[in-house]
Amino acid sequence: MNKNYVWVNPVIMVQYDIEYLKYILSKSGFEIVLPNKNCSDIVKNKYRKKYLNSDKCIIDSRCPKIYEYIDNNDNSYEYANINPILIETAIELKAQIKNNIIIITPCVALSNFGNSLNLEGLIFKTWIEFVKENNIILNENKKRKLNSSPIPLGFFKGFEKVYSVTGEENILKVFKNKLYMNSKILEALYCDNGCHNGDGIDKK
């Protein structure tokens, strides 16, 4: 019998105890997998290289929604075009396990972006989709309420001249008023206060 592998994003991993997740998913035939490499560091090093070699403000591309605000005719900044950590993790897992893997995303945007890349053997789904499609019954008493995100602003700590922002209204203001002009990196997450508010985690 072939194993069904699944990677669960950090938001879900914090909301539920890992042993509970392993148990409940194993009942539906899934095994949780983790990458051997630190994919966050891999992505950060790519940003560091671009940061050191660009004379423009680099726009964070970890959140696919940010691309919707990019004006390709605006020469005052450079869109990073670096894979989000989730995508880098998926690629690493595929090389590591050499089997089909379902990648659980915190939002529809990352799910759509991942699937648009047509990466062989990798399927991207939101947590809501995954749970519904596999008839997984979760004990809500096991769920922790998150007051802060495990993916907050601060990824570029140690870099100089970073402008950080979350939320659609604030992002619109940053681009409209070019508030990034004196910065080397614009760190931006679409969901207010981080990815624990993503639309793929909880039904609103």
Per-residue pLDDT reduced to its tens digit, 179-200: 999 999 999 999 998 888 888 8
The Cα–Cα gap between 201 and 127 comes to 5
Evaluate if residue 1 carries a pLDDT over 60.
Answer: no
- ∠ CA 154-159-160, rounded to 5°: 115
What's the mean pLDDT in 76-81?
Answer: 96
Per-residue pLDDT reduced to its tens digit, 126-145: 999 999 999 999 998 999 88
What's the mean pLDDT in 5-31?
Answer: 95
Per-residue pLDDT reduced to its tens digit, 164-176: 999 999 999 999 9
What's the mean pLDDT in 25-44?
Answer: 96
- Burial class, 141, CB count within 10 angstroms (exposed 0-12 / middle 13-18 / buried 19+): exposed
Residue 40 makes CB contacts below 8 A (sequence gap 6+) with 85, 155
Percent of the chain whose predicted confidence (pLDDT) is above 90: 87
Bridge partners (DSSP) listed for residue 159:
157
Output the average pLDDT for the chain. Answer: 94
The Cα–Cα gap between 90 and 101 comes to 8
Reported pTM: 0.93
pLDDT confidence band for 146 (50 / 70 / 90): confident
Evaluate if residue 80 carries a pLDDT over 90.
Answer: yes
The Cα–Cα gap between 148 and 190 comes to 15
**CA 77 and chain centroid, separation:** 22
The Cα–Cα gap between 16 and 164 comes to 28
pLDDT at residue 48, rounded to an integer: 98
pLDDT at residue 3, rounded to an integer: 78
pLDDT at residue 2, rounded to an integer: 67
